[in-house]
Amino acid sequence: MTDMPRRRPTLDEVAERAGVSRSAASRVLNNAPHVSRDKREAVQRAIRELRYVPNTTARALATRQRGVAALVISGETPAIFADPFFAKVIVGASAALEEADLHLMLCLAAADRSRQRLAELLRARGVDGVMLMAVRENDPVLHTAREAELPVVFGGRPAGHEPPWYVDADNVGGARRATEHLLARGRRRVVMICGPLDTQVSRERHRGYREAMILAGLEPLPPASGDFTEPSGATAMTELLERHPDVDAVFAANDNMAAGALRALRGVGRAVPHDVAVVGFDDLDIAQITEPALTTVHQPIQALGHETARMLVRLIGGEEPSPLILPTRLVARSST
């Protein structure tokens, strides 16, 4: 004789076991306020004892949740879809949301009209929570997020604002290691290609470069700035060569700009790494196919998306997680 499948306990049974009303048990389950500590603990104990698993569909209807989380990227559409960094972030975030039975909504918020639509979506509570990425200093998206009264997690900290919940990479430490790697190979005229200086990620990577140079007793040289694209890296490298013809190493704030720097150096007959050593940041696929292969700082990009989404899921569930900094590491290849 086969065993009959075990019937799932109901919320009414949880309430009865805890000695509370069904509405009180529902409020505890949905992390609602105005529940005494004793009742909350009793309901949580009953949930554990009965091994109660909520019906996610019914729960969403009861709490008016949409079952959707928004990933908001404050950037231009062509640049976003051309950059493999964001593809990896989306893959990571989507996997974490799928585990929590949440759908991913991608919102690009660079233009005024797209920001207006985003504000309307959040005011209408069309999503359960928001992940923000690529936010610049004084970005209008910041105000929109503050006004939303929804759980918000930042993938990377914004410049000029310290949010309570974020997931970021160790940008300062990674940039410091990149510069120290160049110095350890005897390079002394080390320059940097930054990203946009109204982003926290660019400021932190520049800070890491400066710290390494100063600790080595060397004067940090003024950087040239790009926009994280390959053409901007080539333009910045050309500018730096004009300013500092004796440059012997360059640290670029991402792999795309490092690839552009390699192209510019090749165009003026500078051999890499014999004449000029080059280090990037991110460890994208492009780092393995440049000529020569690019030494770079690896950051766990897919994990950045995954952990940002996981943190948002916990916030939606009523928890208050701590900010998270993901480690970075140097990957040495042929460009240094």
160-181 pLDDT tens trace: 888 889 999 999 999 999 999 9
Report how far apart, in Å, the C-alpha atoms of 74 and of each of 113, 195, 211, 284 are.
13, 15, 29, 21
- Half-sphere exposure (Cβ direction) of 144: Cα atoms closer than 13 Å: 25
Q: Could you give the percent of the chain with pLDDT greater than 90? A: 61
Distance of CA 163 to the CA centre of its chain: 13
Cis preceding-peptide flag for 292 (omega within 30 of 0) = yes
C-alpha 106/C-alpha 131 separation (Å) is 10
Average pLDDT, integer, range 58-62 = 49
- CATH no., domain 68-169+301-326: 3.40.50.2300
Specify the pTM.
Answer: 0.80
Q: Where does CATH 1.10.260.40 sit in the chain?
A: 1-53
* pLDDT at site 51: 87
Which tens digits make up the pLDDT trace of 246-304? 999 999 999 999 999 999 999 999 999 999 999 999 999 999 999 999 999 999 999 99
* pLDDT at site 56: 56
* pLDDT at site 150: 86
Higher model confidence: residue 4 or residue 319?
319
Q: Is the pLDDT of residue 2 over 50?
A: no
* Secondary-structure percent of the chain, ordered helix, strand, coil, rounded to 5: 45, 15, 40
Thinking of the domain 171-298, which architecture would CATH place it in?
A: 3-Layer(aba) Sandwich (3.40)
* pLDDT at site 55: 61
**1 forms bridges with which residues in the sheet?**
none
Tokens 């990957």 sit at which residue? Answer: 331
Q: Which two tokens stand for residue 266?
A: 């090749």
Among 72-86, 119-133, 322-336, the minimum mean pLDDT is found in 72-86
* pLDDT at site 307: 98
* pLDDT at site 1: 43
* pLDDT at site 25: 79
* pLDDT at site 152: 92
Q: Is the pLDDT of residue 135 over 60?
A: yes
Crossing angle of helices 301-316 and 84-99, rounded to 10°: 40
Cβ count near 22 (within 10 Å): 14
* pLDDT at site 104: 95
Tell me what the pLDDT averaged over the chain comes to.
89
Instruction: Look up the CATH superfamily of 1-53.
Output: lambda repressor-like DNA-binding domains (1.10.260.40)
Cβ contact 266:335 at 8 Å: no
pLDDT band at 57 (very low <50, low <70, confident <90, very high): very low
Among 125-129, 152-156, 206-210, the minimum mean pLDDT is found in 125-129
Q: Where does CATH 3.40.50.2300 sit in the chain?
A: 68-169+301-326, 171-298
* pLDDT at site 23: 62
* pLDDT at site 78: 61
Q: Which two tokens stand for residue 171?
A: 């940008």
Q: Where are the alpha helices (DSSP H) in 185-292?
A: 200-215, 230-243, 255-267
Higher model confidence: residue 148 or residue 158?
158
Among 201-210, 251-260, 307-316, the minimum mean pLDDT is found in 307-316
Largest CA distance in the chain: 85
Which tens digits make up the pLDDT trace of 19-52? 987 767 776 877 765 567 888 899 999 988 998 8
Alpha-carbon torsion angle 53, 56, 57, 61, nearest 10:
110
